[in-house]
Structure 1
Amino acid sequence: MLSILIPTYNYVCVKLVTDLQQQAERLECPYEILVADDASEDAFKRENRKINGIPNCKYIELQENVGRSRIRNILGRLARYDFFLFLDCDGGIVNADFLARYKALLDKADVICGSILHPSKQPSPDVSLRYTYEKHAEHKFTAQKRMQHPYAMFRSFNFLISRSAFQACPFDETIRNYGYEDVMMGLALGRANVSVLHIDNPLMNEDIEKNAVFLHKTEESLRTLYVHRQKLGYCTGVLRLYGILQRMHLIFSILLLYRLLRRVIRRNLLGKRPSLGLFAFYKIGYYCNLAKERK
């Protein structure tokens, strides 16, 4: 009935798999847990091979890095059952009935999106940017608010999808680098009129990136956004804002400010008390600069 599918890269997810397997045993239905490794470093692979010793669990090692979209599609092709539960490897179980909540709703929609939690206290000053950003946005992502825009709010961290819906709307494999693969899939689900239900069934984000890593990933995601801007249209905040700035002839002004203040802003964002306002400006400035350089 249920295939639990977990892509991983340079992360040990043995505890997550163990916790899921214990819950799955209580469901009294057929299940499997497949973990696909996207060519991690050897130290991570050695630890994750322990997964093969857990009943109904399999650890699959890819020989080359294929990216966040393709690895999920590979898992979907390998899955045996009719419902796929995709989870990120750095999630942590919060509730003892996490899987049972999904099972109880299998007939309610083709896609059921769970939620994400972050620690109540900041784990370290080194992660202040990602932590502050996520905690500030948390109130916007209740199930009730996500249901107002079910396709735009789709995220791949924690969701269940029927086999038929996944075959109709797989992840877009043209996205090889970090960012926007879930936004692209949300658009595909909307175009196919696939039913989507958002619920408050959380996993804990247990790997909040350090500031430098998060800023680097943000820049990578903006490069991904630029490459796929035609497919994404104006469904993201950065592209909508960029369109407004173009119509108001303000791109040059933003570029000038960004280039003058880039180093000062980066120091703030990499520090202990990052400003979310500066972070928002940095993103649109980075995108404007990228668009200018690539024209």
Structure 2
Amino acid sequence: MLSILIPVYNYNICPLIKELHRQCLESEIEFEIICQDDGSNQYLIENNEINLLKNTSYTILEHNIGRSAIRNVLAQKAYFENLLFLDADTLPIHSNFISNYILQINIEEKVVYGGIQYQKEKPIKSEVLRWVYGKSREALVVEKRQENPHISLLTLNFLITKSIFKKVCFNEEIPNLRHEDTLFSFELKQNDIQIIHINNPVYHLGIENSETFLKKSEESVSGLKYLVDKKLIDIEYVKLSYYHKMIDKYKLSVIYGKLFLLLKSSLNKNLLSNNPSLFIFDLYRLGFYCTLKN
């Protein structure tokens, strides 16, 4: 009935897998849990222990193939029609997590997204930016996500069928710069596949430090610009590229980019502080977008 698919990279997935396995047994469903390691060099011994669990497998690729390709590999390996994708650094919040997804399985063509939450306690200073961003921009209630259902999809906790995945899978041709989930959701929208939002969240546990997150955010901006330049997504699909379009319309992009470079160190100081501003974070990303060449 259900194939649970988990891409892994340098993360201990034992707590996640044991909880999923327990819930699947309690639900008395046919299931499999497939964990595909994308060339990790950490936690290999610990993670290998999950092979002792019934209907569970953990295998390791010799070389890293990237976030898009690893998900496609998992889908190809899956035996059942219903695919539940989870990121390795997540953990179900509720004991009926699997049961909630089982209730969504029917003949209707749809993708189901359960949502994400972050810990309530403020983390150490070096991790605050990722935590603030996640709580404000990602940990949205169902009603808020439903306002723009496709762009609200995060690919760390969603249910999809093989038949849909054959129509829309993850694009392996784009650079490994993030925003593969943005392209995935856009193509779902283009194919008129609805996204249903439910309250079935996981905790996101793998919070990067602020410097790493800022660097990844720059990579993400570069990835977005690539998708826009290659006309793989509409420029208005993501707010950042839309705002850049607006300032570029009035020939202000070059000026904004130069101003960003002058103020970058000051913006960095705020973003790496104990009280980062998401408004400044947005200005930072827009400024970085303006510095990128065609």
TM range (shorter): over 0.9
Conserved in 1, the CA contact under 8 Å of 2:258 and 2:291? Answer: no
Partner of 1:101: 100
Separation in 2, partners of 1:17, 1:240: 40
- What stretches of structure 2 of length at least 5 have no aligned partner? none
The TM-score, its normalising length taken from structure 1, stands at 0.95
Cα offsets for 1:139-168 (capped at 9, x unmatched): 7x2212222322222210100001101111
Q: TM-score, structure 2 length as denominator?
A: 0.95
Q: CA shift at 1:252, angstroms?
A: 2.5
Q: Does 1:237 align with 2:239?
A: yes
Q: Which residue of 2 aligns with 1:247?
A: 249
Cα distance per residue 1:2-30 (max 9 Å; x no partner)? 00000011111111000000000012121
Question: In 2, distance between residues paired with 1:28 and 1:238?
Answer: 45
**What are the within-5 Å matches in structure 2 for residues 135-214 of structure 1?**
135-137=135-137, 141-214=140-213
Write the mapping of 1:83-122 to structure 2, written as runs, cut at 5 A. Answer: 83-107=82-106, 109-122=109-122
Q: Secondary structure at the match of 2:73?
A: helix
Give CA-to-partner distance per residue, 1:185-214, whole Å, 9 cap, x none: 111111111232111100001111110111
For the Cα contact (< 8 Å) 1:109–1:196, is it kept in 2? no
> What is the SS of the residue equivalent to 2:269?
helix
CA–CA separation in structure 1 for the residues paired with 2:224 and 2:260: 19
Superposition deviation, residue 178 in structure 1: 3.3
User: What is the one-letter code of the residue matched to 1:200?
Assistant: N
1:249-278 C-alpha deviation (Å, 9 max, x unpaired): 211321121011011211221222212221
CA distance in 2, matches of 1:94, 1:109: 26
Q: Which runs of 5+ in 1 are unaligned?
A: none
* SS across alignment from 2:36: strand
Structure 2 residue aligned with 1:38: 38
Preserved CA contact (<8 Å) 1:233 1:239: no
State the superposition RMSD in angstroms: 1.4
SS in structure 2 at match of 1:201: coil
SS of 1:58 mapped into structure 2? strand
Q: Is the 8 A contact 2:254 2:291 kept in 1?
A: no
* Map of 2:272 onto structure 1: 270
- Contact 1:66 1:176 (C-alpha < 8 Å) held by counterparts: no
1:80 is matched with which residue?
Answer: 79
Aligned mates of 1:61, 1:7 — CA distance in 2: 10
Name 2:19's counterpart in structure 1.
19
Structure 1 residue 138, shift from structure 2 partner: 5.2
Counterpart residue type for residue 225 of structure 2: Y
How far residue 84 of structure 1 moved from its aligned partner, in angstroms, is 0.2
Q: Assess if the C-alpha contact under 8 Å between 1:68 and 1:176 holds in 2.
A: no
> Hey, what does 1:258 align to over in structure 2?
260
SS at match of 1:200: coil
Separation in structure 1 between the aligned mates of residue 137 and residue 167 of structure 2, nearest angstrom: 31
Partner letter of residue 251 of structure 2? H
Are the aligned partners of 2:16 and 2:90 in contact in 1 as well (CA < 8 Å)? yes
What SS does the corresponding residue of 2:155 show, helix, strand or coil?
Answer: coil
Q: Which runs of 4+ in 1 moved over 4 A?
A: none
